[in-house]
Amino acid sequence: MALAITGVNGLIKWSYYTAARAEGYAVYRDKDGHWTMTATLVLSDAFKMRQRPLIFVAPYVRETCASCLKAMQVCSCREPQRVSAPGEWRWPIESLEMGPVTGQTKMQAVLGEQLP
């Protein structure tokens, strides 16, 4: 199983509500293209977590160079012009399991296809 994305702060959303904050998440994609994720839940709302559909949201900041329009990591301009644009990756949660592990609420979920 290949590790795809890790992050510090993610969100579990029910429509426009935040059902929980997912700390220290890791999203995996296996060779068949199936997505799964694990995280520690904080500030979760029991009612909202029971609703469906739930969406896992992983926010990111994309840094590009305004001169060459390439990502900053591959920009080779002499004077790069850094532009930051926030965005987010989103997946529908198809099934999830939650449970206490050493005093924290851990979560494992099967995700659907990444949303546009």
Does 85 help bind another protein (rule: CB under 8 A)?
yes
b/e sequence 72-93, b meaning 16+ C-beta within 10 Å = eeebeeeebeeeeeeeebbbbb
Confirm or reject binding of residue 56 to another protein (CB under 8 A).
Answer: no
Task: Give the residue with the Cβ less far from another protein, 51 or 108.
Answer: 51
Minimum distance of another protein from residue 53's CB (angstroms)? 11
Q: In whole angstroms, how far apart are CA 48 and each of 15, 23, 53, 96? A: 10, 18, 10, 14
Decide if residue 95 touches another protein (CB under 8 A): no
Q: Does 33 bind another protein (CB under 8 A)?
A: no
Q: Is 43 an interacting residue with respect to another protein (CB under 8 A)? A: no
Burial of 110 (0-12, 13-18, 19+ CB in 10 A): middle
Q: Does 16 bind another protein (CB under 8 A)?
A: yes
69 in contact with another protein (CB under 8 A): no
**Phi then psi dihedrals of residue 112, to 5 deg:** -85, -170
Q: Closest Cα to residue 114, out of 76, 57, 45, 65?
A: 57
Q: Does 17 bind another protein (CB under 8 A)?
A: yes
Q: Which is nearer to another protein, 42 or 66 (CB)?
A: 66
- Binding residues for another protein, rule: CB under 8 A, are 14-17, 85-86
